[in-house]
Amino acid sequence: MFTEEPTAQQTSLPAEPADVAEQSQPQPYADNRIEPVAPIVTATTETSVPTIGRWHDWFNLLKAFLIWVVSIILLVVVQLIFTIPYFILLWATTGPPKVEALATDKIVAFLSIIAVLPAHLLTLGVIWLMVTEGRKRPFWKTINFEWPENLRPGIVIIACVVLSLALLSLGGLVTHYWGGTKTQIDLLVESSVPARLATAFVAVFTAPLVEELIYRGVLYSALERTLGKIIGVLVVSLLFAGVHVFQYIDNFAVIGVITLLSVTLTVVRAYTGKVLPSFIIHLVFNGIQSIVIALWPFFGWNGSN
């Protein structure tokens, strides 16, 4: 048996050079290399970051719903600002206007449509301010208004146009065979040529962009991070269709088409992870309808269809 401690009976060995002796002398922990020790993470450190991130996600969801509410309020308030002076003029010249008369007044219809433009611009400003957090973040990238990854833009555009045409065709069939009475939008469009052209302009140049930024950009992103994709698709689809219900309340077939459009746009957003494809579909869908709305009277449409 060998021991490391010297005894009296051991024969002394010849002296070795100092450097050799130092090298041969056992070093503490020579057989076990000392590795860098990982920082000690306490339970508080482990849970604080996820907790802070989770609360930040819920705060963003609250901001998203706030933007949605503000967008609706702006539409109502700006329309009132545009129409109240005309109400005052009517009151001063012909007496208190009746509700039935206002509902069919061409000037009221035109003013209410024109008011959508500044309302949309103000809403866009609110979205930009909230998303960039006061110019601290890039707007388009933060809101995911980009091309889908690993997909060529040309392929995305073709797919979006085809899907838009399919939705329009299906919507045309549904409203043709199961359509009901004329909607509020129909009455506005038929009220005058300026109202018709203004409706077509808004439907192309502001509505697709602002609505996609609100619903598929801000709202869906916040819902997906907090509640998941399925809940995000359901909630956003219902909210988008819901705000359009009062415009088409007299025609359930049109409400069904709008709901189908809403679900399609939101599913595309969830599948691609980006807002731009949904915007393209929305733009083409509204654009073709706007061309029909703007040009149909010049081909002899008398408003009875």
Domain residue spans in the chain? 56-299
d(CA 203, CA 244): 13
Q: What is the mean pLDDT of the chain?
A: 84
Q: What are the b/e assignments for 82-108, b being 16+ CB within 10 Å? A: bbeebeeebeeeeeebeeeeeeebebb
Q: What's the pLDDT tens digit per position in 145-185?
A: 999 998 999 999 999 999 999 999 999 999 888 887 888 88
Q: What is the pLDDT of residues 228-271, one digit of tens each?
A: 999 999 999 999 999 998 888 878 899 999 999 999 999 999 99
Q: Is the pLDDT of residue 46 over 60?
A: no
Residue 132: pLDDT over 60 = yes
- Which range, of 17-31, 106-120, 192-206, 242-256, averages the lowest pLDDT? 17-31
Predicted TM-score (pTM) above 0.95: no
Q: How many CA atoms lie within 13 A of 166 on its CB side?
A: 9
Confidence at residue 2, expressed as pLDDT on a 0 to 100 scale: 41
- CA–chain centroid gap for 277, Å, is 12
- CA separation for the pair 68, 191 (Å, rounded): 29
